[in-house]
Structure 1
Amino acid sequence: MSTPDDLHLPDSALRGLGTRPFGVYVHVPFCATRCGYCDFNTYTAGELGSGAAPEDWLEGLRRELDLAARRLGTPPAVDTVFVGGGTPSLLGADGLSAVLNAVRQSFGLAADAEVTTESNPESTSPELFAGIRDAGYTRVSLGMQSAAPHVLRVLDRTHTPGRPVAAAAEARAAGFDHVNLDLIYGTPGERTEDLQASLDAVLEAGVDHVSAYALIVEDGTALARRVRKGEIPIPDDDVLAADYELLDAMLEKAGLRWYEVSNWAASEQARCRHNLGYWLGGDWWGAGPGAHSHVGGVRWWNVKHPARYTATLAEGALPVGGQESLTAEDRHLERVMLELRLADGLPLDALDGDGVREARRAAADGLLSTPDLDGGRAVLTDRGRLLADAVVRRLVS
Structure 2
Amino acid sequence: MPSTLPDGDPAPATGELPAGALSTLGERPFGFYVHVPFCVTRCGYCDFNTYTADELGPGASRRDYADTVVEEIRLARRVLGPAELPVETVFFGGGTPTLLPPEDLARILGAIGSEFGLRPGAEVTTEANPESVDPSCLDKLRHSGFNRISFGMQSAREHVLRVLERGHTPGRAAEAVREARAAGFEHVNLDLIYSTPGESDDDWRATLTAAIEAGPDHVSAYSLIVEEGTRLAARIRRGELPMPDDDVAADRYLIADEMLSQAGLRWYEVSNWAGSDAARCRHNLLYWTGGDWWAAGPGAHSHVGGTRWWNVKHPAAYAQRLAGGASPAHAREVLDTGDREAERLMLELRLASGYPLAEVAPGARPTVASALARGLLEPAAFRSGQMVLTLQGRLLADALIRDLLV
- Structural mapping, 1:84-123, within 5 Å: 84-123=93-132
For residue 162 of structure 1, what is the aligned residue in structure 2?
171
Give 3-state SS (helix, strand or coil) of 1:371's partner: helix
Query: Structure 2 vs 1, CA of residues 349 and 44 (structure 1 numbering), >3 Å: closer, same or farther?
Result: same
Asked whether the 8 Å contact 1:363–1:369 carries over to 2, the reply is: yes
Partner of 1:15: 23
Kindly provide the CA deviation profile for residues 322-367 of structure 1, in whole angstroms up to 9, marking residues without a partner as x: 1000121211111110000001110112212122332122101111
Residue 35 (structure 1) aligned with residue 43 (structure 2): yes
TM-score by length of 1: 0.98
Q: Does 1:360 align with 2:364?
A: no
Query: CA contact under 8 A between 1:370 and 1:376: conserved in structure 2?
Result: no
Structure 2 runs not aligned, ≥5 long: 1-8
- 2:52 aligns with 44
Matched, 1:206 2:215: yes
Give 1:74's aligned residue. Answer: 82
Question: Which of the numbers 245, 250, 253 marks the counterpart of 1:244?
Answer: 253
1:264 alignment partner in structure 2: 273
**How far 1:114 moved relative to its partner?**
0.3
Amino acid of the structure 2 residue aligned with 1:29: P
Is residue 121–residue 143 contact of structure 1 (8 Å, CA) maintained in 2?
Answer: yes
In 2, are the aligned partners of 1:24 and 1:81 still within 8 Å (CA)?
A: yes
Are the equivalent residues in 2 in contact too, given 1:349–1:375 (CA < 8 A)? Answer: no
Please say which of residues 297-306 and 15-24 is displaced more in the overlay: 15-24
Q: Quote the Cα distance in structure 2 between the aligned partners of 1:372 and 1:199.
A: 30
What is the alpha-carbon distance in structure 2 between the residues aligned to residue 92 and residue 243 of structure 1?
37
Alignment of 1:133-212 (within 5 A): 133-212=142-221
SS in 1 for 2:100: helix
The structural deviation recorded for 1:6 is 5.5
Opposite residue 194 of structure 2, the aligned amino acid is: Y
Among 287, 307, 310, which residue is 2:319 paired with? 310
- Aligned match of 2:92: 83
Q: 1:250-297: CA deviations, max 9, x gaps?
A: 000000000000000000000000000000010000000000000010
Shift of 1:235: 0.4
Whole-angstrom CA distance in 2 between matches of 1:372 and 1:103: 40
Of 368-377 and 184-193, the range deviating more from structure 2: 368-377
Give the aligned residue type for 2:318: Y
Q: What is the Cα deviation at residue 371 of structure 1?
A: 2.7
Is 1:327 the counterpart of 2:336 in the alignment?
yes
Please provide the CA RMSD for this pair: 1.2
Aligned to 1:62: 70
Q: Does 1:279 align with 2:258?
A: no
Partners of 1:131 and 1:234 in 2: CA distance: 42
Q: Is the 8 A contact 2:15 2:326 kept in 1?
A: no
Whether 2:339 is the aligned partner of 1:293: answer: no
Q: 1:129 to 1:147 in 2, by over 3 A?
A: same
1:344 aligns with 2:339: no
SS at match of 1:54: coil
Give per-residue Cα distances to partners, 1:97-143, cap 9 Å, x unaligned: 11211211222111111000000100111111110100000100000
- Check the 8 A contact 2:151/2:189 in 1, yes or no: yes
Contact 2:193/2:224 (8 A) holds in 1:
yes
Contact 1:208 1:267 in 2 (8 A): yes
AA in 2 matched with 1:367: L
Alpha-carbon distance between aligned partners in 1 of 2:166 and 2:89, rounded to the nearest angstrom: 29
Paired with 2:129 and 2:389, the residues of 1 have a C-alpha distance of 33
Structure 1 runs of 4+ aligned residues shifted over 4 Å read 372-375
User: Structure 1 residues 13, 361: CA separation in 2 closer, same or farther (over 3 Å shift)?
Assistant: same
Distance 1:34 1:266 in 2: 32
The code of the aligned residue for 1:179 comes to V
Question: 2 CA distance for matches of 1:109 and 1:332?
Answer: 30
Q: For residue 197 of structure 2, what is the amino acid of its counterpart?
A: P
Name the CA distance, whole Å, in 2 between partners of 1:339 and 1:350.
12
> Partners of 2:104 and 2:65 in 1: how far apart?
11
Conserved 8 A contact 1:89-1:120: yes
Matched residue of 1:47: which SS?
helix
Match of 1:25 in 2: 33
Q: Distance in 1 between matches of 2:241 and 2:157?
A: 17
* 2:302 counterpart SS class: strand
Post-superposition CA distance 1:36-83 (Å, at most 9, x none): 000000000011122211232212111111011110012401100000
Equivalent residues in 2 for 1:118-133, closer than 5 Å:
118-133=127-142
Matched length: 397
Distance 2:381 2:126 in 1: 39
SS at match of 1:65: helix
Cα distance in 2 between the residues matched to 1:354 and 1:380 = 20
Retained in 2: the 8 A contact 1:79–1:110?
yes
